Amino acid sequence: MTMAEKHTNNDLENKICTFLNDKEDGATALQIAKGVGLKKASDVNSVLYRLEKTGQLFRNSDQPPIWSRQKRSAATVKNSQPTDALAEELKKMMLSDGKSNGMKSYHLAAKLNVPRSEVNKCLHGLSRSGEVKRLGETSLWKVDETNGGGRLIKYKGEFQDCSIELKEDSRFFRDFELVSVLGAGGFGCVVKAKHKLDGKIYAVKILENTIKASREVKALAMLKHPNIVSYYTSWDEEAFWINEFNDDDSTTSSQYPTDSEQRDSCSSANGAENSGRDLSCLFIQMEFCEKGTLNDWIKKRNEGTKNKFKKALHMFRQIVSGVEYIHSEGHIHRDLKPENVFIGEDETVKIGDFGHVTITSSSPVSRTSETGTLIYMSPEQTEMVYDKKTDIFALGLICFEILWKMPTVSEKLKLFENLRRQIFPEDFKNKYATEHHIIRKMLSQTPAERPDVKEIAKYLEDFLLRNSTALEQKSA
């Protein structure tokens, strides 16, 4: 480290210590960063931990952690949870005096004649339980206007944190009991929910109410097929939304995260530090598939010893059947991949996630750039001029993936890169000569050279009828 860098670090350490000298209740990393003129928590994290090692700072076990100049005793930490009486007084005060614009903690402390440190502890506790919220990145606090607190749907994932606050009288919480959060992404989140009236389990997708979301609902409502996830209903309602990707410098992630790498559904999210926004959200109630995704099945197969060739081919036939129906109804899915294929309790395979669906055409036309997942995209899809044959390319990659074990992500990326150049593993060509032939055609660089989905369906029917003995041998 140069002398200039040391001087800069020392200066930042002094600024942080000076800032915290006036904060008897401590502050989060983001609050500290703002207080010393920086933008993000990651701008000060390394310095905070260095100061902790030298005994100049202390942090508690809250999420996010609270940093202070004094060490808090176990009793103090334990008592940092809001007492019922003070919590109710704070909420009443915010609902009366701060109903529109919110209130600052020191105003609340003065009005209630309570130490500011106790008010701050109580507010942070209420924030973690979802009863109050901070307005953006300000120091103003506010309660839901309806009845003193909204209800949170929280998710902490490997690559995505999500926190959605709904009003207590929202249709979702009126009709459903939240079971768990299945996953989150840039689109929003999907939850597993039990309907209070019929007692059945459903998947409910929650996303911003946009033209794209409306297009997904219309497609789901129109497409009715045994190999398509069933749609039941949809509605919109207001929500306060915090939804951001983790950008911790210490996190290294695959370019293509998978569902099973998500974790801790319904947990307290780090997003509590981040500003949110009021949004009109669309709720889509769909069929819940008990056995997860095709991606989950592939992972278990990769970890096992059995090949499961026969089952894989029967599953692929169902996927092809679903795509054949989608194309016959004048649509292109545009985001076919194992994560968007689901498996029901009776082993029926169903295609879902129609967020990228579009209308098909008799000839290639220019389309939008929001075209799906890069690793499964056809060559022409990235150029935004394509037709329904783009789905065939993705089907070719899926077919290869359910037949051939690829234990690691790096191995999968390398093999997929080769497949795009028509380079197949020699062992695969020897063991799956017939399958290799059809997959190679599906992965043709030129869309016109790819078979249409009806040809693929006929091939599968003929092959499965003719080769029952061969299927058993390949599955051994």
**Closest to 290 in 3D by CA, of 202, 183, 175, 188:** 202
Residue 257: alpha-carbon gap to chain centroid? 10
167 φ/ψ angles, rounded to the nearest 5 degrees: -70, 150
Task: Confirm whether 198 is a catalytic residue.
Answer: no
**Which helix (H) or strand (E) covers residue 442, if one does?**
helix 433-442
Question: Which pLDDT score, from 0 to 100, does residue 393 have?
Answer: 95
Q: What b/e string do you get for 384-416 counting C-beta neighbours within 10 Å, with b at 16 or more?
A: eebbbbbbbbbbbbbbbbbbbebeeeeebeebb
| Amino acid, single-letter form, for residue 226 | P
Residue ranges and CATH numbers for the domains of the chain are: 3-78 (1.10.10.10), 84-143 (1.10.10.10), 151-287 (3.30.200.20), 294-475 (1.10.510.10)
Q: Which two tokens stand for residue 37?
A: 């003129």
Global pTM?
A: 0.62
Query: What is the distance between the alpha carbons of residues 164 and 466, in angstroms, rounded to a whole number?
Result: 53
Between CA 160 and CA 437, with CA 300 as vertex, the angle to 5 degrees is: 105
- Omega before residue 64 within 30° of 0, cis: yes
Query: What is the distance between the alpha carbons of residues 84 and 80, in angstroms, rounded to a whole number?
Result: 12
Could you tell me how many residues make up the chain? Answer: 476
Q: Which two tokens stand for residue 293?
A: 């995704």
Query: What is the distance between the alpha carbons of residues 90 and 77, in angstroms, rounded to a whole number?
Result: 20
**Closest to 182 in 3D by CA, of 69, 277, 295:** 295
**Closest to 188 in 3D by CA, of 176, 171, 203, 205:** 205
Pairing of the two strands 132-134 and 176-185:
unpaired
| Angular region, 347: left φ>0, alpha ψ -120 to 50, beta rest | left
Question: Which pLDDT score, from 0 to 100, does residue 444 have?
Answer: 95
Three-state secondary structure call for residue 282: strand
Question: Which pLDDT score, from 0 to 100, does residue 83 have?
Answer: 63
Cβ contacts of 415 within 8 Å, gap of 6 or more: 400, 404, 406, 425
Q: Taking each helix axis as running N to C, give the angle between helix 116-128 and helix 105-112, from 0 to 180 degrees, rounded to the nearest 10.
A: 120
| Amino acid, single-letter form, for residue 200 | K
Digit-coded pLDDT (tens) for 239-249: 887 755 444 43
List, in sequence order, every beta strand (DSSP E) within 383-470.
Answer: 385-386
Question: Which pLDDT score, from 0 to 100, does residue 150 have?
Answer: 56
Question: Which pLDDT score, from 0 to 100, does residue 338 have?
Answer: 94
pLDDT (tens, 9 = 90+) of the chain, 476 residues, equals 566 556 567 889 888 988 888 777 788 888 898 888 898 888 888 898 888 888 888 887 655 778 888 776 544 444 444 566 788 788 778 877 765 678 888 888 888 888 888 888 888 877 766 677 777 656 788 875 444 345 778 777 666 677 788 876 789 988 998 888 888 776 778 999 999 999 999 999 999 898 888 888 999 999 999 999 999 999 999 888 775 544 443 332 222 333 333 333 333 333 335 456 778 899 999 999 999 999 999 998 888 777 677 888 899 999 999 999 999 999 999 899 999 999 998 889 999 988 888 887 666 666 665 556 788 989 888 777 778 999 999 999 999 999 999 888 899 999 999 999 999 999 999 999 889 999 999 999 999 999 999 999 988 887 766 665 555 555 55
Residue 40: half-sphere exposure toward Cβ, Cα within 13 Å: 8
Q: Which of 335, 353, 387, 391 is catalytic?
A: 335
